[in-house]
């Protein structure tokens, strides 16, 4: 390093001012400007964040997820439906916490939705929430693109933690919770399948409408707003209640209240549709793409009904599968269309060359 600095200093010292040659009336001034010395600037390598910062951030997110999982589990034990319990905790987290902590808490609510067989006690619920948040923090820290921007990513992580608990518990494996094909057959019945797909599409549409329009209309709404708050505070409240976590929670809570506890499966499908709509705009931009992904998510719910029975997070996993399959199908269709366009262009070019080669007479 010292030799590089000395060489750079020597090159800089050789710099001289421009030399202007004498001119006559018929000549243009000749100015000779010496070349500037070439100095290479090498950027220092970017250092990763210190381990202490990552561990502190991960610890806070794990605590939020674990606490949300326990709170959701406690509500379910007190006869609150799992969708309503997750929605209430998620709505509070989305309205109060910053985005990284709100997503961690929302992820924790999904494992808290697990059945008493999978999470029989508070310690089990807290452990599952901590495991899900640890996986989520690791994925974010490594900047992996796995399901980044896909709706249902949080639920997929929660489902992975719950599945791991089932696999690691011999009694649950003996009880057949890992796979029960009879449940898939019941869910695939035509009437049940149509209801699942329809409720998922309604939930996805409702979540997008709330996030983009309804929250602002209800809470800002000028002088007609029912809230006795200043316009700036109403706008801030609308912003907090229209973020993805809060919007999905609003849809889940409203679905639970509208359909009632006797039709909890419909509320669950609407909740899954809300997860589909949590996708980034570049993933599902149009309404047609949203409805297509919601329909595929409904089919995925049928397929997952027999896998990991009682595990929380499967609604989000179904949503992620729906978005992933739709984007894969669209990418494959684009490749086929491009191949056909190139083949057609090649045929036209060959025909043109043949016509050009024909004799004129």
CATH number of the domain residue 255 falls in: 1.10.3430
The domain of 136 spans 56-324
Q: How many CA atoms lie within 13 A of 277 on its CB side?
A: 33
**Is 198 a member of any domain?**
yes
231-252 confidence digits (pLDDT tens): 778 778 888 889 999 999 999 9
**Is 316 a member of any domain?**
yes
300-337 confidence digits (pLDDT tens): 999 999 999 999 999 999 999 999 999 999 999 999 99
pTM: 0.80
**Is 7 a member of any domain?**
no
**Is 174 a member of any domain?**
yes
Total number of domains constituting the chain = 1
**Is 276 a member of any domain?**
yes
Q: Flag whether pLDDT at 225 surpasses 70.
A: no
Q: Can you give the three-state secondary structure of 65-102, one letter per residue?
A: HHHHHHHHHHHHHCCCCHHHHHHHHHHHHHHHCCHHHH
- Longest CA–CA span in the chain (Å) reads 105
Q: Enumerate residues 6+ apart whose C-beta is below 8 A from 155.
A: 107, 110, 275, 313, 314, 315, 316, 317, 318, 319, 320
- Per-residue model confidence (pLDDT) at position 298: 97
**Is 248 a member of any domain?**
yes
| pLDDT band at residue 52 under the 50/70/90 scheme | confident
**Is 341 a member of any domain?**
no
- Per-residue model confidence (pLDDT) at position 140: 84
Buried b (16+ CB within 10 A) or exposed e, 295-304: bbbbbbbbeb
Tokens matching residue 264: 């909890």
- Per-residue model confidence (pLDDT) at position 305: 95
Mean pLDDT on 331-352? 81
- Per-residue model confidence (pLDDT) at position 43: 46
Q: Flag whether pLDDT at 343 surpasses 60.
A: yes
Cβ distance 306 to 183 under 8 Å? yes
**Is 349 a member of any domain?**
no
Q: Flag whether pLDDT at 222 surpasses 80.
A: no
- Per-residue model confidence (pLDDT) at position 357: 52
pLDDT, mean over the chain: 84
């Amino acid at each position: 390093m010292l030799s590089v600095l000395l060489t750079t200093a020597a090159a800089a010292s050789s710099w001289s001012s421009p030399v202007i040659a004498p001119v006559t009336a018929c000549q243009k001034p000749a100015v000779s400007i010496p070349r500037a010395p070439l100095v290479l600037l090498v950027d220092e390598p970017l250092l990763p964040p210190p381990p202490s910062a990552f561990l502190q951030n991960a610890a806070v997110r794990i605590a939020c997820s674990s606490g949300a999982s326990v709170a959701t589990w406690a509500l379910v034990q007190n006869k609150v439906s799992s969708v309503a319990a997750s929605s209430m905790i998620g709505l509070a987290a989305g309205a109060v916490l910053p985005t990284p902590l709100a997503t961690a808490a929302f992820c924790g609510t999904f494992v808290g939705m697990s059945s008493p067989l999978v999470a029989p006690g508070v310690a089990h619920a807290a452990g599952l929430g901590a495991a899900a948040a640890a996986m989520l923090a690791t994925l974010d820290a490594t900047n992996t693109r796995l399901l980044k921007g896909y709706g249902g990513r949080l639920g997929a992580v929660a489902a992975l933690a719950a599945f791991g608990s089932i696999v690691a518990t011999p009694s649950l494996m003996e009880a057949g919770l890992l796979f029960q094909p009879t449940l898939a057959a019941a869910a695939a019945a035509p009437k049940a399948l149509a209801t699942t797909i329809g409720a998922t599409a309604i939930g996805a549409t409702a979540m997008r409408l709330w996030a983009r329009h309804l929250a602002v209309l209800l809470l800002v709404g000028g002088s007609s707003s029912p809230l006795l708050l200043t316009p700036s505070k109403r706008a801030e409240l609308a912003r907090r209640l229209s973020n993805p976590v809060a919007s999905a929670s609003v849809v889940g809570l409203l679905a639970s209240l509208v359909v009632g506890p006797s039709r909890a499966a419909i509320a669950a499908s609407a909740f899954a549709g809300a997860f589909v709509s949590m996708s980034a705009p570049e993933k599902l931009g149009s309404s047609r793409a949203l409805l297509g992904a919601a329909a595929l998510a409904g089919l995925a719910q049928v397929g997952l009904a027999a896998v990991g029975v009682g595990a929380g997070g499967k609604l989000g996993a179904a949503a992620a599968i729906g978005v992933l399959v739709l984007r894969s199908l669209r990418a494959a269709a684009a490749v086929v269309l491009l191949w056909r366009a190139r083949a057609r262009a090649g045929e036209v070019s060959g025909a043109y060359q043949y016509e050009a080669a024909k004799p004129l007479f």
